[in-house]
Amino acid sequence: MTTSCVIYWTRLSGSSVDACLQAGAHDLPPNLWQRSQHYRDRQVRALSVLGKRLLEYGLSRYMPSPHGQLLKFLRYTAQGSPYLSGLGLSVSFSHSADVVACALSEDGPVGVDVQSVQRFPMQTDGRLFLNAAELGQFTEKTYVDLWAKKEAVYKVTASNGNGSQTPFKSLTVTTDGNVKDAKGQTYHTQPFHVGPGYVSYVAANGPVCAELRSVEARTLWTA
């Protein structure tokens, strides 16, 4: 069965960080605002806020509601995975550098990951997240691609409700670009484009069909 999803994404300029944070402090539910404050970097905090506003923007396409009312459905598991209570929708967030994305699906769990190639540490030791088979097959130039695929699948497994965090080494990127877990289950991945210098993937339990929608950041805190 194909998993269809919509990926909303936007880019945050450095000059807009303060405006985004001010709007978040005023508009976000207190629990979500406090969650965004866990990040030390101001831009990362703003991206966290902006991700929630992307979710609100996306949900409004399903169920028009007064401003600020839709985020009450967003919850987090004890492991920190987001979910939407009582809506029958799956959600996933990712941010890197100045880009943030939010995926929504009616067809089951999805996971999304965005990585800035420039900020991904190329000196990363592949042994930290690749298994022996992968280390013999892939080169350092592909590490960011492998990480993004595994991160997206990791978020799917968390959404599947297995109650544990899946070690990256137990996930194997196959030659067809998909990912298998230790039990042999295959997760499908699909790349999406948010601009040069980024590697981005969405993942699901089966084949995934993603619609990509760019949203102007300023509209998200002036709505």
Percent of the chain's residues with pLDDT above 90 = 66
pLDDT of residue 163: 46
pLDDT digits (tens, 9 = 90+) for 30-75: 999 999 999 999 999 999 999 999 999 999 988 877 666 889 999 9
Between strands 208-214 and 198-204, the pairing is: unpaired
Percent of the chain's residues with pLDDT above 70 = 92
Q: What are phi and psi of 37, to 5 degrees?
A: -80, -5
Of 158 and 18, the structure prediction assigns the larger pLDDT to: 18
pLDDT of residue 171: 92
Q: Is the pLDDT of residue 122 over 80?
A: no
CA-nearest of 83, 51, 71 to 160 is: 83
Q: Distances in Å between the alpha carbon of 136 and those of 38, 131, 132, 162, 189?
A: 38, 9, 7, 30, 22
Q: What is the mean pLDDT of residues 160-179?
A: 78
Q: Is the pLDDT of residue 159 over 80?
A: no
Kindly report the average pLDDT of the chain as a whole number.
89
pLDDT of residue 132: 82
> Among positive and negative, which fits the CA dihedral 214, 49, 47, 76?
negative
State pTM to two decimals: 0.92
pLDDT digits (tens, 9 = 90+) for 16-40: 999 999 999 998 999 999 999 999 9
Domains (range + CATH), the chain: 3-222 (3.90.470.20)
Q: Provide CB contacts within 8 A for 109, sequence distance 6+.
A: 90, 156, 159, 160, 204, 205
Under 8 Å between Cβ of 11 and 98: yes
CA-nearest of 112, 114, 120, 192 to 154 is: 112
Of 121 and 47, the structure prediction assigns the larger pLDDT to: 47
Q: Distances in Å between the alpha carbon of 218 and those of 18, 53, 80, 137?
A: 12, 11, 28, 43
Which tokens hold the place of 168? Answer: 């990256």
pLDDT of residue 125: 74
